[in-house]
Structure formats: C-alpha cells, structure tokens
Chains A and B, each alone.
Chain A
Amino acid sequence: MTDQSENNTPRLTGSVNDPRMRRRYRAERRFHAYCISAVLVALAIIVTFFSDIIGQGYTAFWHHEVQVTLDYNERSERIGQFALDSDLRDVASRGATRSIPRAIDRNPDLLGTTETTWVPVKGDIDQHFKNDKALSDSLEEKVNRLLADGQIRNAFNSRFFTAGDSKLPELAGIFSAAVGTLYVLGITLLFAFPIGVMSAVYLEEFAPDNKLTQTIEVNINNLAAVPSIIFGLLGLALFINFFGVPRSSALAGGLTLGLMTLPIIIISTRAALRAVPDPIRLGAFAMGCSRWQVVRDHVLPASLPGILTGTIIGLAQAMGETAPLIIIGMIAYIPEAPTGIFQSATVLPAQIFTWASEPESAYVEKTAAGIMVLLAVLLTLNAAAVLLRRKFERRW
C-alpha cells in the first residue's frame, strides 16, 4: 500500500528528489545551455571572421623593396626598364620604372644623372617572402642573396594608401577608391540629409493625420526594406538612362545611394523628433511662436544629436553598399583618383570586389587589407554614432 499512499500525499513542488521535478530541472538547464551556446556560436563566428580577415590582410601593410640605382640615360628615356641594372630587372617591379620616360621628358636635366632609391619588388617575389610562393630556382637564389645582403628590405607599404588601383598587385592601393568614396558619400549626404530631415519634420510636426500622410509613412517603411540591388536598377533607369548622368560617375552613385539612405534618415529623424516631449512645443506655442518657429528654435536643436546619429548610421550603411553601384557601372578600373563628380569613380567596397575577382594570389592580401580599412572606418563611424548619442542624449 506504500505506492498508493505515496500517490495520495500532496507532493511538495520543488522537492529535488521528485523524479519529475528533476526531469524538469534538467530540461531547464538544457534549454539554458542551448541559449548560451547560440550566443557563443555567434560570438565565435565574429572572432573567426575578424581573425580570418586580419590574418589574411595584415601582411599587405608591409612589402618588400629592393634598392636600385636608376640610371637616367638615352635608353631609359625611351624604355624605363633600361634605367635598372640588368641584374635587377626581374626583381624590381615593372611599374617602378614605367614613369621614367615621362619624368625625363618633363625634366631633361635628369638625363645623365643617377639616383639610388628603394622600389617595390615584383608581386610574385613579395608573395615568395610572405607565402612561400614558388619561384624559378635561379630567381629564388638571387632574391635570397639580395635579402641577405640587405639590398631587399621589408618596409611599411605606404603605397597602399597613396596609390590608385593597378594591374600590378605590388603597386595597387586604395587611394582612388577612398577619394571616390568621399565624393559619393558627399553627394549622398547633400541629397539625403536635407530631404530626409525635411520629410521627417513634415511627418512628425506638420502633417495632418490623413490618407496622404499614412500612405507616405507606409511607403517609407517599405522603401527601407527594398533590396539594394533594386535601387541599382532604379539608378540605372532613372539617373543614367533618363537624366543622362554619366555612367560610373560619383554623381550617379551618390544619388542612387542617397535614395537608398533616405528612408533610414527619415525613420531615425522621426524617432529623434518624437523623443522631444510635447510640453516643449506647447510652451513655445504659448509664447506665440509659429509652428515653424517652434520646430526651428526648439524641437530641432533638442533632437539634433539623435538626427546626426541616424545620419551617421545611414551613411555607414551607404558606405558599405556595393550591389547598386555595380549595376550603375562603378566597378571600372580607376587608377587615378577622380577630380570631379562627373568623372568615372570607384568606391572602397567596389575596389574590394574588383580585387577579389583578380586571379593573382597577391591580390588576396590586398583585398583583405582593403576590407580591414573599410571595416575600421565603418566601426569608427558606428562607435562615433553611439558615443554621440550617449553624450548628448537628453532624458526628459
């Protein structure tokens, strides 16, 4: 009868000896562990991701240089390669001597002089030192000897930041893409910031609650979720085919990204305006301000930090965007930085995409290094946005 009496006594819930309770606690611990492992998996992915990119890219910030004596003579006036000691012609980068005929042309006094300088080695040789890329035996023996003699050195690759794209990996840099990015983002900001803030001010402060306003609101929310490649199709059909903006130009790219960033700026500006409490407005109205005076002198200054935060986040998103820019042709080969908004330009993500499609292995480290620069800028922008919000956000 013990069985029955046990069944009849009311069980104390929470008793650890109860097998059913134990099962439930086990289930509880299991579920907790699933949740923790999901977060840990996500964090592990982040760590893997960053260490992978940095591991592949950090080598690109250094490169090997060879010390050469450039001989400005009649032969190198025609073909730059002849300025080099014949022994070093298969070591030094072809690009290092390419500009010699032009330099002599511009400054004939150079003729007959010599100059000792460091120039980048060929991409294959650089990869030989970094990744053990196979070279021909004689060349390998030569570069190892030069390295031992101190005629080849490992130096900071400043060229990566000061040069444009190049078909020779050892000469390629991000400068032209960085300038292009500045142009494109400048246009995006000029276009999307005023229109975005004005739209948000209208919707929050001026708009009556009618069908038109609701349509605009629904429309903005939907626009924010339209795939970016569709904005590329729009940019192609509208700006390039209809308005005749030059293909690949910073103007076309900036306007396309501007349309894409617009809903982000509108949504965050509206949130910032909504955070300003109504008594501020009512107080200003009570002093006889017109609606515009209330907005200009009271609501906008109070919500400015929030508006700027949203704008920075929107710009950071635009800065990483590639797909719509590919559609409007911004993946052209741009060795020189653009000097105007109508010129063909490229941007950092597009440069990364172009390098990623190059077959030479030397471009892999360039790609990863470009990614490191891009990520550093984006993380800085996002951190700046967060700090801005923390520092200036007012609790009412």
Chain B
Amino acid sequence: MGIGETTLLLLAGLIPLGYAGFYLGRRKALTTVADGVRMHSRPQQYGWYSVVSMGIPAIGVAIAASLLNLLGWITLPAELVLLMSLVTAAAGLGYGLKAVRPTLRARNALDNIIRWLLLGAALISIMTTIAIVLSVIFEAMRFFREVSVWEFITGTVWSPGDSFLEAAGRGDEISEGGGAVFGSVPLFAGTFMVTAIAMIVALPIGLLSAIFMSEYASPKIRGIAKPMLEVLAGIPTVVYGFFAAITVTPVIVDLAGFFGLDASYSNILSPGIVMGIMIIPFISSLSDDVINSIPQSLREGAFALGTTRSETIRSIVVPAALPGVISAFLLGVSRALGETMIVVMAAGVRPNLTWNPLEDMTTVTVNIVMALTGDQSFDSPQTLSAFALGLVLFIVTLTLNIISTILVRRFKQEYD
C-alpha cells in the first residue's frame, strides 16, 4: 500500500468515526439535559469533545509511525499502522463518550486543545527556519569536508568544472592543472557589483519618489503614482530577467560601441540596472512609510523659522527619517544579493574578477542554480558547493534583515 492509499483508508475510517462521535456525544449530553440535569457546556461542545478524543490520539499514532518509518528506525507495514491507528481511534472514542457527564468542562478542554493546535501551526514557521539552517549547514559541512573553508572564502579562482570527473572516478581525465578549485571571491565580487549597480539606480529614484509622494504630491497624484510604482513590485523576476537579456543588454552593447567601448553580451551592468528597477518600489514604499510617520510638528517648526520646503526636507525630514531610510536600503541590498532569475538570465557564467561593469561576471546565485541543474550526482563537490554558497547568502541576508529591523524599531520608538 502506498502512502496515498493508506492516508485515504485512514480518513475513510476516521471521518465516519468522527461523525458518530459527534452525534453520540451530543446525544448523551442532550438526554442528560432532558433529564433536568444542568451541564457545564453546550451539547455540541460535548460532541466535539468526543470527536477530538477520538481523532487526536489516532492521528498522533499514524504520524508517529510514519516518522519512525521515515527515519528508518523501525519499519512497520502500512496495514499494521492503519490498524493501530483505527484501534486507537475506537478506544479514544469510547473514552470520550464515557467522559461526557455534567461536571466535564468540555468547553474549556476544547479551548485548550485549540490553543495547542494553533501554537503547533505557529511553530511551523520556527521549524522552517530550523530546517533551512540544518539542511543548508548539513550539506555545506559535507562540502567543507572536501574543500577547506579558508580556500572557499579567500580563493580567487572558481572552477568547479572538472569535479564531477573526480566524483565519477575519472580523475585521470582532468587536464593538467584543471582540477576543481572552489575560491568564491569572484562570485561574491560579481554579486556585490550587481548589488552596487542596483542600489545606485534604486536609491535615488526610490528615495526621491518617496519624498515627492509624501511631501509634494497632492492626494490625487499620490493616489495614481503610488499604485503605479507598486506595479513594479508585482512583476515576476523571470520577466525582469527576460527584459534585461533581450532588451536592455543589446541597448547597452550598442551604446558602449557608440562610445568606442567594448561591452560583453552578458555584461553585469544590464542585470544591475534592471535589478535596480525591481528594487525601486521597495525603497520608495518603505521610505514613504517612514517619512509619513515623522510628526507634522517637526515640519511646522521648520516652516515657522522660514525654511523653504526643500530645506525642511533636507535638514529636518530626511535626517529624522534616516534610520528608516537606511533600513529600507539594507532590505533592498538583501533583496539584490539573493535575486536569482535576473542574473541567471542576463549575467555571465564566467567567474571574473574585474571593476569593469561592461565585462561579464557571474554571481553567487547563478552558481547555485548552475550547480543544481547540471547532470552531476548529488554527492559531487560542485552540487554541494551550492549549499555552501547558500549558507553564506543566508547568513549575510539574515544579518542585513536583523540590522534593518533593529533600526526600524529604534526609529518607531522615537516617534510613536
């Protein structure tokens, strides 16, 4: 029996039992009430109490058994698990029905169970974080068993190309000096280059748009411009990638050619600019929020001293909003670092240490995708390198997010 069938059979058993439990529990409560005895809770709450005392142990048994199977500690046949679960369900139902009596506080018990269920749901997000950390660290450790951490962090040559030959036991086919080298500096250089270009585009446009919308625009214009800008945030990154590769790159190559410069068709400038466009709405809407939460009295005080609007903005509003603006900037940087599709589609694949944005460069995310979409076996160092890169990316973006959260909290404390 497959997992799907077993689950279906389990549900086919539990749902009728649940119905039976509800009606039997409620009937018992109703007959007790009819006899003139006052019960603590409403009859249907006793019904639900029976359902819960049937369902939770049964589902618990099923989940525990499948977890044990998954971990490979004990292997139980699916039929046995099904049987155990249904027997537990029947026993639970019997217990639940027996417990229905006037003194039973079914309502409080239900409230407690619901509280635990909800807590369980809330813990899933914590477990997601733990799972991310564990899975990425676990696979990265396997990578660092073969490649030294120091070489990974400081090496300036990234050439995983031949590692799959080694993994396949064909190490002798590797050309002279062509073994796998995992120095991640060129990848991070590319990532920082593309992030820097993106922020050079996004910060001025985003910040000035935010200032325009919160300080200059009439409510009507603001009502049009703000949603328009937010359209940019709803565009999928794969679409930006296509735009960068098909439209922006040729324009940049032509422009560079016009000025007598030589630009690569996978230059890093084009994905950088398009990524900047993608980040504009983040910067503008976050800055807009902070600027709006600056108390009006600060502005009025400045106006009373005779400053013009732009002087007020430059010397009062923006300095007051600075922590929020920096936080928006950091969130934007974190977005840019982790952005994948734009660089996969428009940036290069050749690790290249350069300051020239017209040359092709590759990034961390591009290499994660390349490592995991190739034909290598999962155990090859190239595949595992994706997790090492992912680990660094996760740590860097997490740090940026935490700093940004702290800044915003300080800012809010100051003005709330």
In the assembled complex, which residues on chain B have CB atoms less than 8 Å from the CB atom of A392?
Answer: none
Kindly state whether residue A384 has any CB partner on chain B within 8 Å. Answer: no
Task: Specify which of A38, A195, A319, A368 lies most central, judged by the most chain B CB atoms within 10 Å of its CB.
Answer: A38
CA distance A373 to B114 in the complex (A): 42
Please name the residue on chain A nearest to B306 by beta carbon: A13
Given A320-B236, A382-B234: A43 and B225 interface contact (C-beta under 8 Å): yes
Q: How far is the CB of A396 from chain B (nearest CB, A)?
A: 21
The tally of residues in B whose CB lies under 8 Å from a CB in A reads: 89
Please name the residue on chain B nearest to A224 by beta carbon: B401
Cβ 8 A contact of B236, one of A27, A231, A236, A378: A378
CA distance A41 to B394 in the complex (A): 33
In the assembled complex, which residues on chain B have CB atoms less than 8 Å from the CB atom of A300?
Answer: none
Q: Are A222 and B243 in contact (CB under 8 A)?
A: no
Q: Are A323 and B129 in contact (CB under 8 A)?
A: no
CA distance A349 to B122 in the complex (A): 30
Q: Are B311 and A24 in contact (CB under 8 A)?
A: yes
Q: Are B398 and A234 in contact (CB under 8 A)?
A: no
Kindly state whether residue A190 has any CB partner on chain B within 8 Å. Answer: no
Please name the residue on chain B nearest to A213 by beta carbon: B122
CA distance A345 to B227 in the complex (A): 34
Kindly state whether residue A158 has any CB partner on chain B within 8 Å. Answer: no
CA distance A349 to B342 in the complex (A): 13
Q: Are B125 and A262 in contact (CB under 8 A)?
A: yes
Contact with B along A351-376 (1 / 0, CB 8 A): 01100110000001001100100110
Please name the residue on chain A nearest to B334 by beta carbon: A225
In the assembled complex, which residues on chain A have CB atoms less than 8 Å from the CB atom of B387?
Answer: 233, 237
CA distance A327 to B373 in the complex (A): 7
Counting chain A residues whose Cβ lies within 8 A of the other chain, the interface size class is 35 or more
Please name the residue on chain B nearest to A24 by beta carbon: B308
Q: How far is the CB of B386 from chain A (nearest CB, A)?
A: 7
CA distance A331 to B132 in the complex (A): 23
In the assembled complex, which residues on chain A have CB atoms less than 8 Å from the CB atom of B390?
Answer: 229-230, 233
Given A206-B118, A322-B238: A229 and B338 interface contact (C-beta under 8 Å): yes
Q: Are B132 and A263 in contact (CB under 8 A)?
A: no
Q: How far is the CB of B400 from chain A (nearest CB, A)?
A: 8
Please name the residue on chain A nearest to B133 by beta carbon: A234
Q: Are A38 and B70 in contact (CB under 8 A)?
A: no
Kindly state whether residue B337 has any CB partner on chain A within 8 Å. Answer: yes
Q: Are A219 and B212 in contact (CB under 8 A)?
A: no
Q: Are B239 and A34 in contact (CB under 8 A)?
A: no
Q: Are B340 and A227 in contact (CB under 8 A)?
A: yes
CA distance A42 to B344 in the complex (A): 24
Q: Which residues of B contact A (CB under 8 A)?
A: 70, 107-108, 110-111, 114-115, 117-119, 121-126, 128-129, 131-132, 135-136, 138-139, 204-209, 211-213, 215-216, 225, 227-229, 231-232, 234-239, 241-243, 245-247, 277, 280, 284, 306, 308-311, 313-314, 331, 334-335, 337-341, 344-345, 365, 368-369, 372-373, 378, 386-387, 390, 393-394, 397-398, 401-402, 405
Q: Which residues of A contact B (CB under 8 A)?
A: 13-14, 24-25, 27-28, 30-32, 34-39, 41-43, 45-46, 49, 52-53, 56, 194-195, 198-199, 201-203, 206-207, 215-216, 218-223, 225-234, 236-238, 241-243, 259, 262-263, 266, 290-292, 316-317, 319-323, 326-327, 329, 331, 349-350, 352-353, 356-357, 364, 367-368, 371, 374-375, 378-379, 382, 386
Closest 9 CB pairs of A and B: A227-B338, A320-B236, A237-B135, A38-B208, A198-B121, A31-B310, A202-B118, A35-B212, A323-B340
